[in-house]
């Protein structure tokens, strides 16, 4: 187990290194470049040259890369040139990461809280109205562009009905104490209930829009694997032993049916991050996604490099955790030893 974990962590390191090199070369070849983005089109050749030199963009690319790695090891990922000019890329990441994490966690919680029970019910009443309705809605969920759903939710529930705020993470008038950077958690920790409530209200619409991606998948996988499991002999055995149906559901059906769902959650991390780019843009939510969208618009290399690397790292790491969690859920893997 330990050896397996270490090997996977080393693999993660290799992926991140290779990716950083590729991204570095890649981002440098993007048209435009930070010099034009910072100075605009009308700057003189002289000022351009000076800024190019200042940013170190005149050196050979591999020298630039080695310098970057050297600085990165000390936690210095460069200074933002476009998203929040002057702030360090690492600072932007630290500021914004909790926002996206908070949003993604709420989205996953919504997807699981709705998707798993609905998947179970649909499977138990296969072919019924609930089953057909929820299957159709999950298929439509896949087909709706997430940014359009976000627009729709914003227009109806924030603009027309006014139930929720239209943008941001926290209303301007609220002076909240920051502890962790997770606004809802901060409000709860400092017992500033109105701040926590306000932050939660800002999260709800973007989270629902974002949840549409994992929801369809969670629902369909739950339904399919419950259908698989309820036909198994051990479920019939449990029934004939006279176990009550809640016990059968909990110990025999759901425990076995959850394995594929857990895998899916891991695989959905990537889709969630991509969805966050779109959702955060619609709700002007100051997270990683919005920074990425802005970063591409303004060619902010240091920020893009760090954020994409982190996105990839998080994605790979979560899938490692998912693989490891199998051992907890499925005792067969534990005793067989890990491949």
Q: Which residues bind other proteins (CB under 8 A)?
A: 15, 18-19, 22-23, 26-27, 29-32, 139-140, 142-148, 151, 155, 159, 269-271, 273-275, 277-278, 281, 292-293, 296-297, 308, 311-312, 315-316
Of 36 and 190, the one with the shorter C-beta distance to other proteins is 36
Give the closest residue to 219 by CA, choosing from 112, 129, 130: 112
Alpha helices for the chain (secondary structure H): 2-28, 33-39, 45-54, 61-73, 89-124, 129-143, 146-153, 183-189, 193-230, 233-240, 245-247, 255-282, 288-298, 301-329, 331-336
Angle between helix 193-230 and helix 146-153 axes, rounded to 10 deg: 130
Name the residue nearer to other proteins (CB basis): 154 or 187.
Answer: 154
The smaller minimum CB distance to other proteins, of residues 137 and 190, is found at 137
Shortest Å distance, C-beta 271 to other proteins: 7
Euclidean distance between CA atoms 288 and 295, whole angstroms: 10
Please, which residue, 201 or 281, has the CB nearer to other proteins?
Answer: 281
Q: Which two tokens stand for residue 52?
A: 């190019």
Smallest gap from residue 214 Cβ to other proteins (A)? 13
Place of tokens 């896949």: 142
CB of 27 to other proteins, least distance (A): 8
Per-residue burial over 3-24, b = 16 or more CB atoms within 10 Å of its CB, e = otherwise? eeeeebeeebeeebeebbeebb
Q: Least CB distance from residue 247 to other proteins, whole Å?
A: 22
Closer residue to other proteins, CB minimum distance, 27 or 253: 27
Comparison of 101 and 188: residue with beta carbon closer to other proteins: 101
3-state class of 79 per DSSP? strand
Distance CA 279, CA 207 (A): 8
Could you tell me the smallest distance in angstroms from the CB atom of residue 15 to other proteins?
Answer: 6
Tell me how far, at minimum, the Cβ of 26 lies from other proteins, in Å: 7
CA distance 285 to 203: 9
Compute the least distance from the CB of residue 132 to other proteins, in Å.
10
Closest CB 8 distance from other proteins, rounded Å = 12
Q: Are 282 and 290 a contacting pair, CB within 8 Å?
A: no
174: how many CB neighbours lie within 10 A of its CB? 14
Structure tokens at 328: 């907890």
Q: Which is nearer to other proteins, 188 or 274 (by Cβ)?
A: 274
Of residues 186 and 216, the one with the C-beta less far from other proteins:
216
CA pair distance 111, 275, nearest whole angstrom: 14
Q: Looking up tokens 């050196």, which residue turns up?
A: 59
């Amino acid at each position: 187990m330990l050896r397996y974990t270490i090997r996977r962590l080393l693999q993660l390191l290799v992926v991140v290194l290779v990716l950083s090199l590729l991204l570095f070369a890649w981002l440098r070849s993007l048209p435009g470049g930070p010099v034009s983005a910072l100075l605009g089109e009308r700057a003189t050749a002289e000022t351009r040259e000076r800024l190019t030199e200042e940013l170190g963009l005149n050196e050979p690319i591999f020298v630039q890369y080695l310098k970057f790695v050297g600085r990165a090891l000390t936690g210095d990922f460069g200074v933002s040139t476009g998203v929040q000019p002057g702030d360090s890329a690492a600072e932007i990441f630290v500021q914004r990461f909790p926002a996206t994490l908070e949003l993604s966690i709420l989205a996953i919680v919504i997807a699981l809280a709705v998707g798993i029970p609905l998947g179970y019910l649909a499977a138990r009443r296969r072919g019924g109205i609930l089953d057909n309705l929820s299957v159709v809605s999950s298929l439509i969920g896949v087909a709706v562009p997430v940014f359009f759903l976000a627009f729709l939710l914003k227009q109806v529930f924030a603009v027309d009905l006014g139930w929720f705020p239209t943008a941001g993470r926290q209303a301007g008038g609220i002076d909240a104490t920051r502890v962790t950077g997770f606004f809802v958690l901060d409000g709860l920790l400092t017992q500033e209930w109105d701040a926590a409530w306000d932050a939660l209200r800002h999260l709800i619409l973007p989270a629902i829009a974002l949840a549409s991606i994992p929801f369809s998948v969670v629902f369909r996988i739950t339904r399919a694997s419950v259908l698989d499991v309820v036909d198994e002999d051990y479920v019939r055995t449990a029934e004939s032993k006279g176990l009550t149906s809640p016990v059968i559901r909990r110990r025999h059906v759901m425990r076995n049916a959850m394995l594929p769902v857990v895998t899916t959650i891991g695989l959905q991390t990537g889709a969630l991050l991509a969805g966050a780019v779109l959702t955060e843009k619609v709700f002007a939510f100051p997270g990683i996604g919005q920074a990425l969208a802005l970063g591409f618009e303004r060619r902010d290399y240091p920020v893009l490099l760090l954020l994409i690397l982190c996105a990839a790292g998080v994605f790979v790491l979560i899938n490692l955790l998912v693989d490891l969690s199998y051992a907890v859920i499925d005792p067969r893997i534990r005793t067989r030893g890990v491949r």
